[in-house]
Amino acid sequence: MFFNNNTDPFTISYIAFTAGVAQANNDLAGYGQGAAGYAKRFGAGMADESASGFFRTFLFPSLLHQDPRYFRKGSGPWRLRFAHALIRPVVTNTDSQRKAFNWSGLLGGLAASALANAYYPEEERGVGKTFSRVEMGIPFSVIDHLVDEFGPDLQRKLTHKRKQPEQ
Helices in 88-159 by DSSP H: which ranges? 103-116, 127-159
Cα–Cα distance list, 89 to 11, 69, 70 (Å): 20, 11, 9
Instruction: Report the range out of 15-24, 90-99, 148-157 with the highest average pLDDT.
Output: 15-24
Tell me the whole-structure pTM to 2 decimals. Answer: 0.82
Q: What are phi and psi of 55, to 5 degrees?
A: -75, -40
pLDDT greater at residue 161 or residue 115: 115
**Residue 164 above 80 pLDDT?**
no
89-101 pLDDT, tens digit per residue, is 999 999 998 999 9
Residue 61 lies in a domain: yes
How high is the pLDDT of residue 165?
56
Average pLDDT, the chain: 91
Closest CA to 109 of 141, 85, 83: 141
Domain count, the chain: 1
What are 24-30's contacts with CB under 8 Å, separation 24+?
Answer: 28/120, 28/121, 28/124, 29/121, 29/123, 30/120, 30/121, 30/122, 30/123, 30/124
Contact (Cβ atoms closer than 8 angstroms) between residue 42 and residue 15: yes
Residue 164 lies in a domain: no
Residue 95 lies in a domain: yes
How high is the pLDDT of residue 163?
45
**Residue 157 above 90 pLDDT?**
no
Residue 167 lies in a domain: no
How high is the pLDDT of residue 156?
87
Residue 88 lies in a domain: yes
How high is the pLDDT of residue 121?
96
131-150 pLDDT, tens digit per residue, is 999 999 999 999 999 999 99
**Residue 58 above 70 pLDDT?**
yes
Residue 35 lies in a domain: yes
Residue 166 lies in a domain: no
Residue 165 lies in a domain: no
For residue 69, the enclosing domain spans 2-158
